[in-house]
């Protein structure tokens, strides 16, 4: 006989699971008892929040579900950060958690009871608000089949998080030898197939692109999810398009390329926004067109009554969700783009010259400033100087993300990933550790002092597992974005005690450095990137350099100003 927990670990191995990110507790202890003898490595950060972000980033980078595990009450609370980001950033994830039930005592409200009975709380209800699908198996056979389905649904269609709630006997009993209904081989049960647009829709899109005089591609996170980078480049060249991205789509297309115009939207390049506005045809690929992408639907920005809109998305509900689409291409982004690249082509005298002009917005006089404290624009340019095609930058929320979106000119695909689904602070540090574990790339994690402090325990995880991200802390001793937006009013809670991040780094076993001048920052970055141990670089930035005043789109005025 085989225990259910052992069979579950075998399933993880059959599905080529590299890591399980999580924290021991409750019924997942049975699972963790069998993992040390398996081919699956356990990454145990200091809490479930950091584990959830690491699992989300692993799924985002690989396209295979990142696996998160832990006790139900904490997966449903602390561990929600990564799950929410996975849902809104389309990152595949499988959550293996449990209900902390106590069998015959469950209706008497034992502490941590999560089945949803009277006297307890309902973990299924919590997970239902975030997961694509979830299962609460009652038997060993259901546990195994549910896990297979969780892996299947995490990657089918638009990727996202799925969850299994392990419950008492469903994880502790032995697997039956001849279960009814039967269980099937894991790789067969989890197989999925890509969808592709219809021939008639493809033909309509080709006709529109060939007729365009000012075609622009808007590349979103769906291009990352499908890893359709070559196909995107092929369409841009075939139809002579300028290429912009959403903020989640940044680095789906090299921003140094002749056709690149940068990131569009609220806190993005004015040049890119103007290019989108001037287009006569827009090919939107894997982008939801959320309010930040569309400058809060400023009426003079995207105009469906004047522009032809082709919307390619994996989900038929998303095509034409925000703006009416003239053509919908429903399918995997790789399939849709490949079909367009193979079916036609066109030329114009507009895209290359216009893109060259738009890329000028990657630079400003402050990028060359030698001022101390360091101008944030100059700090981003120093980061850019060490980013090559084998480097990944992870960006947190707040001012640091918007400075990066605007001034970091990515040299290749997959060189930038940011917290932009739910956009939680504290994402960049564990995401950077996960990127270092998952790839052979150099990793630079960028966060403000507030976001770094939330999840700085992940520095210890990097030390423990022998990976060496460089953690950049843009320190203005405050919640900079909130502080700068308070205007004439005073908002409580925006100022921070001046924390010594150098000592904290050293306490975790990393190298800590504080810099207040741009040249010193450049030297510290070079040293950190070349090192075999994690480096934390605290750079003091000019807290009076106003992000919103500098970066806010000119299209905002027509919708009443800043919407944050």
Q: b/e for 172-203, b at 16 or more Cβ within 10 A?
A: ebebeeeeeeebeebeebbeeeeebbeeebbe
What's the pLDDT score for residue 108? Answer: 86
216 and 86: one domain?
no
Q: What is the DSSP code string of 431-486?
A: HHHHHHHH-SSEEEEEEEHHHHHHHTTHHHHHHHHT--PEEEEEE-SB-HHHHHH-
**Residue 331 to residue 205: CA distance in whole angstroms:** 14
Question: Per the domain annotation, does 137 fall within a domain?
Answer: yes
At 141 the pLDDT is: 95
On the question of pLDDT at 475 being above 70, the answer is: yes
Question: Are 338 and 448 members of one domain?
Answer: no
Span 348-373, average pLDDT: 96
pLDDT tens, position by position, 206-249: 999 999 999 999 999 999 999 999 999 999 999 999 999 999 99
Q: What is the pLDDT of residues 121-159, one digit of tens each?
A: 999 999 999 999 999 999 999 999 999 999 999 999 999
φ, ψ of residue 175 to 5 degrees: the values are -75, 135
CATH of the domain at 454: 3.40.50.970
Which CATH number do you get for residue 229?
3.40.50.1220
Residue 491 pLDDT exceeds 80: no
Q: Specify whether 151 is located in the same domain as 283.
A: no
Question: 352 and 370: one domain?
Answer: no
Residue 558 lies in a domain: no
- Going by C-beta distance under 8 Å and a sequence separation of 6 or more, which residues neighbour residue 379? 403, 472, 474, 518, 521, 539, 541
Q: Is residue 88 part of a domain?
A: yes
Distance CA 449, CA 499 (A): 9
Cβ-contact 212, 314 below 8 angstroms: no
- Asked if the model's pLDDT at residue 78 lies above 60, the reply is yes
Is the domain of 357 the same as that of 214? yes
- Give the pair of three-digit tokens for residue 365: 């006089």
Q: Is residue 518 part of a domain?
A: yes
pLDDT band at 479 (very low <50, low <70, confident <90, very high): low
Q: What is d(CA 198, CA 225) in angstroms, rounded to the nearest whole number?
A: 21
Same domain, 355 and 380: no
Give the separation between CA 205 and CA 344, rounded to whole angstroms: 10
Please say whether the beta carbons of 526 and 461 come within 8 A: no
Q: What percent of the chain stands above pLDDT 70? A: 97
pLDDT in tens, 385-435: 999 999 999 999 988 888 999 999 999 999 999 998 999 999 999 999 999
> Is 265 found in the same domain as 137?
no
Residues 381 and 307 in one domain: no
Residue 557 lies in a domain: no
Per the domain annotation, does 560 fall within a domain?
A: no
As a whole number of angstroms, the distance between CA 168 and CA 162 comes to: 20
- Is there a single domain that holds both residue 143 and residue 258? no
**pLDDT for 564 beyond 60:** no
Helix, strand and coil content of the chain, in percent to the nearest 5, comes to 40, 15, 40
Q: Which one of 190, 217, 232 terminates a domain? A: 190
Of 309, 335, 361, the position where a domain reaches its end is 361
Give yes or no for residue 338 having a pLDDT over 80. Answer: yes
Please return the burial class of 286, using the count of CB atoms within 10 Å of its CB with bins 0-12, 13-18 and 19+.
buried
| pLDDT greater than 90 at residue 551 | no
Based on the fold, state whether residues 249 and 181 are members of the same structural domain.
Answer: no
Condensed to tens digits (0 to 9), the pLDDT of residues 20-42 reads 999 999 989 989 999 999 999 99
pLDDT at 485 over 80: no
Question: Of 137, 142, 101, which is closest to residue 122 (Cα–Cα)?
Answer: 101
pTM (global) more than 0.85: yes
| Structure token digits, residue 392 | 């990944």
How confident is the model over 273-311, as pLDDT tens digits? 999 999 999 999 999 999 999 999 999 999 999 999 999
pLDDT band at residue 103, thresholds of 50, 70 and 90? confident
Name the residue range of residue 149's domain: 4-190
Q: Is 55 exposed, middle or buried (0-12, 13-18, 19+ CB in 10 A)?
A: buried
**For residue 43, what is the DSSP state?**
E
* pLDDT tens by residue, 158-204: 999 999 999 878 888 899 988 888 999 999 999 999 999 999 999 99
Higher pLDDT, 107 or 362: 362
Tell me, what's the pLDDT at 563?
Answer: 55
Question: For residue 67, what are the β-bridge partners?
Answer: 20, 94
pLDDT for the residue numbered 492: 82
Clarify whether residues 283 and 163 are in a common domain.
no
Q: Please, what is the average pLDDT of the chain? A: 94
Looking at 172, 190, 208, the residue that finishes a domain is 190
pLDDT higher than threshold 60 for residue 107? yes
SS (H, E, C) 201-240: HHHHHHHHHHHCCCEEEEECHHHHHHCCHHHHHHHHHHCC
Quickly state the pLDDT bin for 493 (edges 50, 70, 90).
confident
Q: Which of 29-33, 91-95, 310-314, 443-447 is the least confident region?
A: 29-33
370 DSSP assignment: -
In a domain, 515, yes or no: yes
Confidence band, pLDDT 50/70/90 cuts, at residue 543: confident
Q: Comparing 170 with 446, which gets the higher pLDDT?
A: 446
Residues 249 and 144 in one domain: no
- Return the H-helix or E-strand segment holding 554: none
**Domain assignment present for 356:** yes
Of 211, 354, 220, 346, the residue nearest 277 (C-alpha): 354
Q: With beta carbons less than 8 A apart as the criterion, state whether 394 and 240 touch.
A: no
* pLDDT confidence bin for 477, thresholds 50/70/90: confident
Average pLDDT over residues 540-560: 81
C-alpha 69/C-alpha 418 separation (Å) is 23
Count how many domains the chain has: 3
Residue 258, pLDDT above cutoff 80:
yes
């Amino acid at each position: 006989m085989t225990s259910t927990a052992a069979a579950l670990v075998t399933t993880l191995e059959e599905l080529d699971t590299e890591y399980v990110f999580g924290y021991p507790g409750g019924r997942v202890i049975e699972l963790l008892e069998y993992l040390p003898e398996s081919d699956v490595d356990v990454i145990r950060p200091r809490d479930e929040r950091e584990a959830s972000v690491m699992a989300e980033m692993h799924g985002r980078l690989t396209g295979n579900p990142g696996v998160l595990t832990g006790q139900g009450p904490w997966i449903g609370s602390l561990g929600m950060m990564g799950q929410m980001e996975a849902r809104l950033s389309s990152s595949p994830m499988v959550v293996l958690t449990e209900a902390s039930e106590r069998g015959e005592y469950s209706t008497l409200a034992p502490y941590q009871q999560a089945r949803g009975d009277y006297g307890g709380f309902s973990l299924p209800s919590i997970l239902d608000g975030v997961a694509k699908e979830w299962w609460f198996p009652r038997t060993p056979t259901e546990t195994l089949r549910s896990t297979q389905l969780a892996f299947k649904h995490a990657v089918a269609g638009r990727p996202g998080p799925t969850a299994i709630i392990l419950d008492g006997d469903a994880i502790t009993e032995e697997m039956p030898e001849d279960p009814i209904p039967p269980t099937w081989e894991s790789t067969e049960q989890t197989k999925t197939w890509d969808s592709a647009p219809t021939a008639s829709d493809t033909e309509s899109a080709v006709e529109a692109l060939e007729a365009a005089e000012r075609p622009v591609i808007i590349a979103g996170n769906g291009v990352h999810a499908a890893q359709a980078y070559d196909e995107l480049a092929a369409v841009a060249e075939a139809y002579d398009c300028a290429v912009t991205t959403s903020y989640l789509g940044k680095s789906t297309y090299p921003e140094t390329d002749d056709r690149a115009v940068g990131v569009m939207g609220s806190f993005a390049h004015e040049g890119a926004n103007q290019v989108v506005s001037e287009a006569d045809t827009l090919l939107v690929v894997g982008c939801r067109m959320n309010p930040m992408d569309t400058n809060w639907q400023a009426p003079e920005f995207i105009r469906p009554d004047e522009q032809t809109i082709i919307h390619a998305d994996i989900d038929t509900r998303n095509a034409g969700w925000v703006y009416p689409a003239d053509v919908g291409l429903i399918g995997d982004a790789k399939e849709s783009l490949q079909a367009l690249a193979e079916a036609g082509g066109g030329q114009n005298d507009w895209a290359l010259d216009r893109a060259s002009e738009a890329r000028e917005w990657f630079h400003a006089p402050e990028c060359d400033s030698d001022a101390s404290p360091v101008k944030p624009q100059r700090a981003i340019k120093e980061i850019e100087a060490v980013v090559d095609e084998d480097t990944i930058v992870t960006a947190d929320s707040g001012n640091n993300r918007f400075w990066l979106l605007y001034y970091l000119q990515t040299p290749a695909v997959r060189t930038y990933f940011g917290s932009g689904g739910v956009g939680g602070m504290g994402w960049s540090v564990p995401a950077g550790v996960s990127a270092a574990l998952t790839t052979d790339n150099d990793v630079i994690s960028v966060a403000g002092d507030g976001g770094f402090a939330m999840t700085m325990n992940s520095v210890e995880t990097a030390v423990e597992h022998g990976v060496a991200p460089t953690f950049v802390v843009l320190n203005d001793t405050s919640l900079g974005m909130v502080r700068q937006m308070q205007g004439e009013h005073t908002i409580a809670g925006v100022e921070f005690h001046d924390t010594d991040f150098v000592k904290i780094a050293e306490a975790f076993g990393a190298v800590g450095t504080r810099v207040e001048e741009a040249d010193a920052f450049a030297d510290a970055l070079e040293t950190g990137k070349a090192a075999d141990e994690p480096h934390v670089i605290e750079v003091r930035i000019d807290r009076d350099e106003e992000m919103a005043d500098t970066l806010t789109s000119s299209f905002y005025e027509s919708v009443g100003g800043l919407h944050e």
